[in-house]
Amino acid sequence: MQWHALTELLRKVKMPNDMNQWKNFSKGLLKENAVFVLILGMCPTLGVTTSAVNGLGMGLATTFVLVMSNMVVSMVKNMIPDKVRIPAFIVIIAAFVTVVELVMRGYSPALFDALGIFIPLIVVNCVVLGRAEAFASKNTVLSSVLDGAGIGLGFTMALTILGTVRELLGSGAFFGMKLISGDGLLLFILPPGAFLALGYLIVLANMIKEKTN
């Protein structure tokens, strides 16, 4: 028994570093998916996913903020006194969100109009602060960047899937291309449809997760 524990420990120590790094990235995609598993960041998830493009745009904007804030937080983690770490993280996150907002307004005004109020609200997205607090403030820069990218892409994937489902059912379109004429099930465009679609997607994600285990 003790021998077994020792080999296990050795295996962990000897495990190549890049393997761990791959895990830092990949866990955010399904195993710790922010939307389907951790059920975090519900406000933008339910709010903007009326179309696949909106979900994709919101996801990518959040991913950028996540990667940048994780990187900076992990760089300055040793300089920040514990008592002021939350305000410090929020300032860092808010700075990057404002960068995204300014760039989007200048170079992609149509997307900015579609996402509207949800862009500034990335600041209070608990996924972003959650990763800064739970991961970036304890890990190296590389691990934190990979963690941010993984969680961010998992978030993007979830939002895009949810947006696609709602758009397909609600307006009979796929990424803005009309597949059927007329209206779809309007319910799925409205807020209750967001909850319904998300609920079934969570069931699906859990089934996939159990199969892969």
Partner 1 sequence: MSMVTTLFVITLVAAGLLGSVYSVTKEPIRLAELKKKNDAIKVVVPGFDNEPSQEVQRLFMDGDSIYLYTARQGGKILGTAVETFTNLGFGGLIKLMVGFAPDGTIIDIAVLKHSETPGLGNKMEKGKSDFSLQFMGKNPENFKLAVKKDRGDVDAITASTITSRAYCDAVARAYRAFKESQNAE
Binding site for partner 1 (CB under 8 A): 50-51, 76, 79-81, 83-84, 87-88, 91-92, 94-95, 98-99, 102-103, 105-107, 109, 113, 116, 170-171, 183-184, 186, 189-190
* Rounded-to-integer distance, Cα 129 and Cα 154, Å: 16
In the complex, the smallest distance separating the C-beta of residue 116 from partner 1, rounded to whole angstroms, is 7
* Rounded-to-integer distance, Cα 152 and Cα 63, Å: 4
In the complex, the smallest distance separating the C-beta of residue 80 from partner 1, rounded to whole angstroms, is 6
Q: Which is nearer to partner 1, 26 or 98 (CB)?
A: 98
Q: Which is nearer to partner 1, 40 or 93 (CB)?
A: 93
* Helices 52-76/85-107 angle, 10° precision: 140
In the complex, the smallest distance separating the C-beta of residue 115 from partner 1, rounded to whole angstroms, is 11
What DSSP designation does 15 have?
Answer: S
Q: Which is nearer to partner 1, 95 or 126 (CB)?
A: 95
In the complex, the smallest distance separating the C-beta of residue 211 from partner 1, rounded to whole angstroms, is 34
Q: Which residues pair with residue 177 across a beta bridge?
A: 174
* Rounded-to-integer distance, Cα 129 and Cα 35, Å: 15
Q: Which is nearer to partner 1, 13 or 117 (CB)?
A: 117
Q: Which is nearer to partner 1, 153 or 165 (CB)?
A: 165
Q: What is the DSSP string of 102-136?
A: HHHHHH-HHHHHHHGGGTGGGGG-HHHHHHIIIII
Give the helix ranges, DSSP H, for the chain.
2-14, 17-26, 42-48, 52-76, 85-107, 109-115, 126-131, 141-171, 191-212
Q: Which is nearer to partner 1, 39 or 99 (CB)?
A: 99
Give the phi and the psi of residue 125 in degrees, each rounded to 5.
-65, 120
Q: How open is the CA angle 156-196-188, to the nearest 5 degrees?
A: 80
Q: Which residues pair with residue 173 across a beta bridge?
A: 178
